[in-house]
Amino acid sequence: MLGSLSTTRNTNKVGSFRKVDIPSFDWPMADPPEYRYPVDDPSNEEYNRQKDLASLRDVREKIELWKTDKGIEIAAVVLEPIQSAGGDHHITSFFANELRKLTKDMGVYMIIDEVHTGIACTGKFWAHEWWNLYAPPDFVTFSKKAHASGFYYPDEFKAKFAYRHFNTWMGDPVRALLMAKMNELIKD
How far is residue 75's CA from residue 144's CA, in Å, rounded to a whole number?
Answer: 26
Q: How far apart are CA 133 and CA 82, in angstroms?
A: 16
Q: What is the pLDDT along the chain (188 residues), one digit of tens a residue?
A: 455 656 666 655 555 555 666 666 778 889 889 999 998 899 999 999 999 999 999 999 999 999 999 898 999 999 989 877 656 778 999 999 999 999 999 999 999 988 878 777 888 988 999 999 999 999 988 776 665 666 666 777 766 655 555 555 555 677 777 778 877 887 88
Using CA atoms, how far apart are residues 176 and 174, in angstroms rounded to an integer? Answer: 5
Bond into 38 cis (ω within 30): yes
Asked whether residue 154 is domain-assigned, the answer is no
Looking at the domain assignment, is residue 67 inside a domain?
Answer: yes
43 domain-assigned: yes
Residue 102 sits in which domain range? 2-141
72 exposure class (CB count in 10 Å sphere: 0-12, 13-18, 19+): middle
**137 inside domain:** yes
| pLDDT, tens digit, 9 for 90 and up, residues 90-100 | 899 999 999 99
Q: How far apart are CA 148 and CA 180, in angstroms?
A: 9
Neighbour count for residue 89 (Cβ, 10 Å): 17
The reported pLDDT for the residue numbered 155 is 72
Q: What is the tally of structural domains in the chain?
A: 1
CB atoms within 10 A of CB 87: 13
Helix, strand, coil fractions of the chain, as percent rounded to 5: 45, 10, 45
Has residue 41 been placed in a domain?
yes
In CATH, what number is assigned to the domain containing residue 50? 3.40.640.10
Residue 160 belongs to some domain of the structure:
no
